């Protein structure tokens, strides 16, 4: 499979009577965009605003972030099973508005949404302070069920992303990135002497608005399956979950999964990257055992020597992460784990809810309980009072002058377990 990402760089946003991209500026026809989003009976009001890097702007509460993309040519369409038909993707050419993002905001679950600050100390912890954000503000009709509101918000974000990119299909492309994967038959015999490695991609699927979608299917309903990495880049995985902001894998993160990108870079040099095994994070012990055993069976069938395993969320999913680890290790497959920590505000508590002796190669994305003070912003898009409710905040987090004191848990993407974060570390 060969996928070309045709990237149009966006450095600025502007309103205009036509939606197009030119010279690094994405111009948006607000009236036309709102007409695309109109007609959803679950929404009482829809509005759109901008938030640019360096501006004194806070977005709160944030539900999802999506990168604008649209298929230029090839099978399938963007966000299959959601915006387009369910045909397989991962081949052909896809337009990417690089540097632009669609951010959805609305009071859904409330305690599991997040904060994006476009400047100040908070901006140093979220990658979305560096994107040119088209913010879609969504208010639900009275009495609507939360899962219906989530669906409406999710679809509004995806439709906006598809609309923006489709309107820019004629734009001058700044860069083309090409990713190509052979058939499994050829891949198994490629790069002799290098270890065969796969990526075990854990997706949040605990239900009660803790959901992720693969080709439009709720992932808790699937058995683990093999997925070509270019399918992920082409929008096959969509976030529908409302877990804590710090380690929520937004749709944007799936589209730009840094694990996949970096495994491509090392493919043929350090190891033979065979592809992704997509699995879920369920609630019951039986479901955890089933998915874990099936994932490792797939890995053994592929004959891999190593698995890189990433998690989404914390607490209950820690059990899935550790079960995947020890089952793989005891099957003779070496593992490396990616997670974050909830070690208390002083960093002295147990970091994960579960552990095993085999989990001795682990990369951490940081301690989500660390406390940070966010100074007031000149403009707030959304509802600032939600700072007192969201995970990582508490009653009194929002001060009268607009200052917010919260844990990193409240900042979107601050401890991303896919490594899509601005945090780093070094050895001393």
**Domain range enclosing 270:** 2-179+188-410
Check if the beta carbon of residue 211 is closer than 8 Å to that of residue 301.
no
Q: Which residues are catalytic?
A: 242
> 416 lies in a domain?
no
Least-confidence region, from 47-56, 328-337, 362-371: 362-371
Three-state DSSP at 258 gives: helix
Domain-located, residue 422: no
pLDDT at 207: 83
In a domain, 254, yes or no: yes
The number of domains in the chain is 1
Q: What is the pTM of this model?
A: 0.95
* Domain membership flag for residue 423: no
In this structure, what token pair is assigned to residue 103? 């951010």
**Quick check: is 418 in a domain?**
no
| Within-domain flag for 158 | yes
| Under 8 Å between Cβ of 211 and 109 | no
In a domain, 127, yes or no: yes
Given a cut of 90, whether residue 82 has pLDDT beyond it is yes
Plot region of 366 (φ>0 → left; ψ -120 to 50 → alpha; else → beta): left
CA 363/CA 219 separation, integer angstroms? 25
Q: What is the pLDDT of residue 131?
A: 98
In-domain check, residue 100: yes
> pLDDT band at residue 428, thresholds of 50, 70 and 90?
low
DSSP bridge pairs for 283 = none
The pLDDT tens digits of the residues spanning 356-395 come to 999 999 999 999 999 999 999 999 999 999 999 999 999 9
Q: Confidence band (pLDDT; 50, 70, 90) for 233? A: very high
pLDDT score recorded for residue 110? 74
């Amino acid at each position: 499979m060969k996928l070309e990402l045709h990237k149009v760089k966006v450095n600025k946003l502007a309103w205009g009577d036509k939606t197009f991209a030119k010279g690094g500026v994405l111009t948006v026809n607000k009236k036309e965009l709102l007409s695309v989003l109109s007609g959803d009976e679950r929404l009482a009001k829809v509005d759109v605003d901008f938030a640019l890097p360096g501006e004194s702007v806070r977005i709160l509460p944030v539900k999802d972030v999506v990168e604008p993309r649209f298929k230029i040519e090839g099978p399938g369409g963007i966000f299959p099973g959601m915006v387009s038909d369910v045909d397989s993707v991962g081949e052909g050419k896809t337009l990417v508005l690089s540097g632009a993002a669609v951010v959805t905001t609305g009071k859904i679950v409330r305690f599991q949404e997040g904060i994006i600050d476009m400047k100040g100390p908070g901006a140093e912890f979220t990658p979305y302070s560096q994107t040119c954000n088209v913010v879609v503000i969504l208010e639900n009709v009275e009495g609507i069920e939360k899962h219906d509101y989530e669906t409406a918000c999710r679809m509004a974000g995806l439709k906006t992303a598809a609309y923006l990119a489709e309107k820019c299909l004629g734009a001058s492309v700044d860069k083309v990135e090409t990713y190509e994967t052979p058939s499994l038959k050829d891949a198994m015999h490629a790069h002799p002497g290098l270890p065969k490695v796969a990526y075990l991609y854990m997706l949040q699927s605990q239900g009660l608005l803790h959901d992720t979608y693969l080709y439009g299917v709720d992932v808790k309903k699937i058995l683990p399956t093999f997925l070509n990495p270019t399918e992920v880049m082409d929008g096959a995985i969509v976030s529908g979950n409302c877990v804590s902001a710090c380690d929520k894998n937004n749709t944007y993160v799936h589209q730009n999964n840094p694990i996949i990108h970096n495994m491509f870079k090392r493919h043929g040099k350090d190891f033979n990257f065979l592809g992704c095994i997509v699995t879920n994070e369920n609630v019951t012990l039986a479901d955890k055992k089933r998915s874990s055993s099936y994932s490792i069976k797939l890995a053994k069938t592929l004959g891999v020597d190593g698995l890189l395993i990433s998690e989404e969320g914390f607490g209950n999913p820690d059990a899935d992460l550790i079960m995947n680890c020890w089952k793989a290790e005891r099957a003779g497959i070496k593992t490396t784990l990616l997670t974050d920590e909830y070690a208390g505000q002083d960093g002295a508590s147990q970091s994960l809810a579960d552990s095993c002796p085999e989990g001795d190669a682990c990369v951490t994305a940081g301690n989500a309980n660390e406390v940070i003070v966010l100074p007031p912003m000149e403009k707030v898009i959304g509802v600032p009072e939600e700072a007192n409710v969201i995970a990582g905040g508490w009653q009194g987090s929002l001060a009268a002058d607009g200052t917010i004191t919260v844990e990193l848990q409240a900042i979107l993407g601050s401890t991303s377990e896919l490594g899509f974060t601005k945090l780093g570390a070094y050895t001393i």
